[in-house]
C-alpha cells in the first residue's frame, strides 16, 4: 500500500493538493493506481482542498493523531523549521505518510514541495 502524506497551509485548493500528489508520484515512479490513501494530521481534517483531492481520486483520508505524527518524525529525512514550529515534527508530509502507512512503513524518498503543499509517499501495510 502506498500512502501520500500531505502537509499544507490552510486554505489550499484541490488543484494545489493534486499537483503535489502528481509530482510526488511522478518523481517516485509510482502510478496513481498504487496510491491507496492520503494521510493528514487530525488538525487538518476539515481542509477542503485535501478532502476534494481525495474524493477526486476516490481514496480515503487517514487522520493522523499528533502523538503518531511525533513518533514517526524521527524517521523522516527532511527538516523544516516551519513544520517543527507548527506541528512539532521535522516534516508533516513525511511523518503523516509514515504513520498512515503503518508500523513497518518506509519513505519512498523525501517530500516533494509544490507551492504551499508538500507530499511524501510511504509504502507499508496500513493497520486501521
Residue 18 domain-assigned?
yes
Q: Which domain holds residue 18?
A: 2-123
Kindly state whether residue 128 falls inside one of the protein's structural domains: no
DSSP per residue over the chain, as a string?
-EEEEEEE-TT--HHHHHHHHHHHHHHTT--GGGEEEEEEEGGGTT-HHHHHHHHHHT--EEEE-HHHHHHHHTT-S---HHHHHHHSSS-HHHHHHHHHH-TT-EESSS-EEETTEEEEEEES----
| 71 pLDDT above the threshold of 60 | yes
- Establish if 41 belongs to a structural domain: yes
Kindly report the pTM of this predicted structure: 0.94
Average pLDDT over residues 6-22: 96
pLDDT (0 to 100) of residue 103: 83
Total structural domains within the chain: 1
Looking at the domain assignment, is residue 64 inside a domain?
Answer: yes
Position 121 scores a pLDDT of 98
The CATH number of whichever domain residue 73 belongs to comes to 3.30.420.180
Amino acid at each position: 500500500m502506498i500512502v501520500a502524506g500531505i502537509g499544507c497551509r490552510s486554505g489550499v485548493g484541490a488543484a494545489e493538493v493534486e499537483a503535489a500528489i502528481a509530482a510526488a508520484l511522478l518523481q517516485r515512479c509510482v502510478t496513481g493506481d498504487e496510491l491507496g490513501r492520503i494521510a493528514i494530521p487530525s488538525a487538518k481534517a476539515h481542509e477542503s482542498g485535501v478532502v476534494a483531492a481525495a474524493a477526486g481520486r476516490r481514496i480515503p483520508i487517514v487522520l493522523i493523531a499528533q502523538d503518531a505524527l511525533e513518533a514517526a518524525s524521527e524517521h523522516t529525512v527532511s527538516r523544516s523549521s516551519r513544520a517543527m514550529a507548527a506541528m512539532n515534527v521535522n516534516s508533516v508530509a513525511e511523518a503523516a505518510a509514515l504513520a498512515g502507512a503503518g508500523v513497518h512503513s518506509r519513505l519512498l524518498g523525501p517530500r516533494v514541495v509544490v507551492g504551499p503543499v508538500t507530499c511524501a509517499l510511504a509504502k507499508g501495510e496500513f493497520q486501521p
